[in-house]
Amino acid sequence: MRLILDIAVTHIAGRGRQTLVAVLGVAVGVGFSIAMAALMQGGQDDFVARLVDTMPHVQITDDRRTSSIQPAETAFDAAAISGLRPREDRRGIINPAAASAWLEGWVPGRLAVSLNTQVVVRYLGRDVGASLVGVEPRAERAVSPIVADFVAGSFAALEAGGTNVVIGDSMAERLGARLGDTVTLVSATGRTRDFRIVGLFHTGTTARDEREAYVLLKNAQILAERTNVINEIRIKLDDPGTAPDVARRAEARLGYKAMSWQEANESILEALVVRNVIMYTVVSAIMLVAGFGIFNIVSTITHEKSRDIAIMKSLGFSEGDMQRLFVLEGVAIGAAGSALGWLLGFALVYGLSQVRFELTSTGQEISGLPIAWSLLHYVIASGFALASAAVAGYLPARRAARLNPVDIIRGAS
């Protein structure tokens, strides 16, 4: 095999310029594939990170996917119950302390309980519907990114206790309220209570900035007249990837609907898969083009070296040896191109990561391109390159291997 390699190398080295072009072809292909993959992956990671950051990884609500089993159903085979409604809809997660204690026991991450209700925020005669989230500020801090998004006041102000509220800046704008003003919250049951605005947040998600308000859990329970009730447990995991498993286990035990962020965003994640398919299609196309360069050079070599092929065969090299020789030549070019492509790809990705631009819509956010550094991109790009090089070398190699030495020797003499 060393011998075959030596011969392959001398063949390639003998065609410096053509080899260089073929190698550069592969290198450019590999380099741009890596850069493209880094950008696409970076964009995707950035997108998913935003998605994952802004929402809990697992959200356990007081909904049930199936209605609860009635005693009659377990007692009698023939019993069928449908359309059952409790007399008084006292929803909420039963025994929340036990549930969260159990979760805390094994979930690798942090969790926060909350009570979500619908309220109307009233200020100077203006009413805005809002989703009121009653939270325990210290626990909330660990699961919600909202803490970092304050434009005025802070989330910590809630911790001090008292009837304070934090709302989105868009909502404040609609109400005409400012930090320090007192707004009235009206619950669905008609209870009202005054709260002082101690913080304004801006998450960038309009729906949240316009419609969310945070108060202490106790205050929310009083306002909604649901003492000690919570209806949502949100979990932030150390590894967001484990969310489906955690959700499954929590749901199996607690019986409440536990939704992982993957489930909640299934359609978006599917769209990302489509994006990846498109990307790899383009990568394949690039490599196919690079493959033509390799095919060209190996093909030229086999034509030019047909006399040498005849000689080697007469010396005792088999068809298999000849095939290996020329496939190896293709692969060697592919490998050299890959190595060079890695450098090019690295340089391109580095260059892209240094790009800074202003987002024109807001005019204030300076942002860079989302770039993902992943060895896998390099491996995949060279994988494609080597595979296409092997195929590009194989086709002329097969022809060369089948060459009848007698024809060549006769032709030469």
- Contact residues: other proteins, CB under 8 A: 2-3, 7, 10-11, 13-14, 307-308, 310-321, 404-406, 409-410, 412-413
The neighbouring-strand residues paired with 224 are none
Residues 6+ apart with CB under 8 A from 119: 129, 130, 131, 132, 185, 186, 187, 188, 213, 223
The neighbouring-strand residues paired with 134 are 115, 215
Complex with other proteins: residue 101 or 412, whichever CB lies closer: 412
State in Å, rounded, how far the first CA of the chain is from the last one. Answer: 31
Give the SS3 label for residue 350. Answer: helix
Read out DSSP for 275-337?
HHHHHHHHHHHHHHHHHHHHHHHHHHHHHHTHHHHHHHHHHT--HHHHHHHHHHHHHHHHHHH
Read out DSSP for 254-273?
H-S-EEEHHHHTHHHHHHHH
Chain-centroid distance, C-alpha 203: 20
Complex with other proteins: residue 303 or 410, whichever CB lies closer: 410
Q: How far is the CB of 409 from other proteins (least distance, A)?
A: 6
Complex with other proteins: residue 10 or 364, whichever CB lies closer: 10
In angstroms, the CA 76 to CA 270 distance is 44
Complex with other proteins: residue 281 or 314, whichever CB lies closer: 314
Q: How far is the CB of 295 from other proteins (least distance, A)?
A: 22
Q: How far is the CB of 336 from other proteins (least distance, A)?
A: 18
Q: How far is the CB of 333 from other proteins (least distance, A)?
A: 17
In contact, 169 and 153? CB cutoff 8 Å = no
In contact, 117 and 30? CB cutoff 8 Å = no
In contact, 108 and 247? CB cutoff 8 Å = no
Q: How far is the CB of 280 from other proteins (least distance, A)?
A: 38
In contact, 100 and 162? CB cutoff 8 Å = no
Complex with other proteins: residue 10 or 360, whichever CB lies closer: 10
Complex with other proteins: residue 392 or 403, whichever CB lies closer: 403
Q: How far is the CB of 410 from other proteins (least distance, A)?
A: 7
Q: How many CA atoms lie within 13 A of 228 on its CB side?
A: 5
Measured CA to CA in angstroms, residue 388 lies from 26, 159, 294, 380 at distances of: 10, 62, 9, 12
Complex with other proteins: residue 352 or 409, whichever CB lies closer: 409
Complex with other proteins: residue 178 or 303, whichever CB lies closer: 303
Q: How far is the CB of 407 from other proteins (least distance, A)?
A: 10
Complex with other proteins: residue 248 or 410, whichever CB lies closer: 410
Structure tokens that stand for 412 in this block: 């030469």
Q: How far is the CB of 1 from other proteins (least distance, A)?
A: 10
Q: How far is the CB of 18 from other proteins (least distance, A)?
A: 15
Structure tokens that stand for 123 in this block: 């200020």
